[in-house]
Amino acid sequence: MSDTPIPLQQLRELPAHELKEEIEILVVELFKDALLMEDDEDLPLAVSYFDLGLTSLRLTALKQSLEELLELTINTNVLFNEPTVEQLVYYLTDLMAGATATFQPAP
């Protein structure tokens, strides 16, 4: 996450591509912390976080952190049915933008 996080209201007003970038930074930082990864390590975005070693208990704690930080409710099914950071970032971006959550993988 950047040294000076964007205030939530300002985050909500960002264009979709910038919103996605900011959410990705936040989510990656939280997942790296939960997976005990170093800051300079790459987190594979398209690999299931369960395959990376994340437990359902840690995922629940991550969900609560994200809900508090972003002030929204995250559907638990999304976390378990499509368990990659990339998919979660798209879901949260759509949720923050007020759209119906859809996943569009990167080309």
Candidates 31, 29, 77; CA nearest to 54 is 31
Instruction: Check residue 6 and give its pLDDT.
Output: 67
Q: How confident is the model at residue 2 (pLDDT cuts 50, 70, 90)?
A: very low
Do residues 52 and 63 lie in contact, with contact meaning Cβ atoms separated by under 8 Å? no
- Residue 17 is encoded by which pair of tokens? 């591509």
| In the chain, % of residues over pLDDT 90 | 44
Average pLDDT, rounded, for the chain:
82
pLDDT single digits (tens) 22-42: 899 999 999 999 999 998 999
pLDDT, mean of residues 9-28: 82
Matching residue, tokens 């594979």: 44
pLDDT single digits (tens) 52-96: 999 989 999 999 999 988 888 898 888 888 789 999 999 998 888
Instruction: Check residue 57 and give its pLDDT.
Output: 92
Do residues 3 and 11 lie in contact, with contact meaning Cβ atoms separated by under 8 Å? no
> Whole-prediction pTM value?
0.79
- Three-state SS for 84? strand
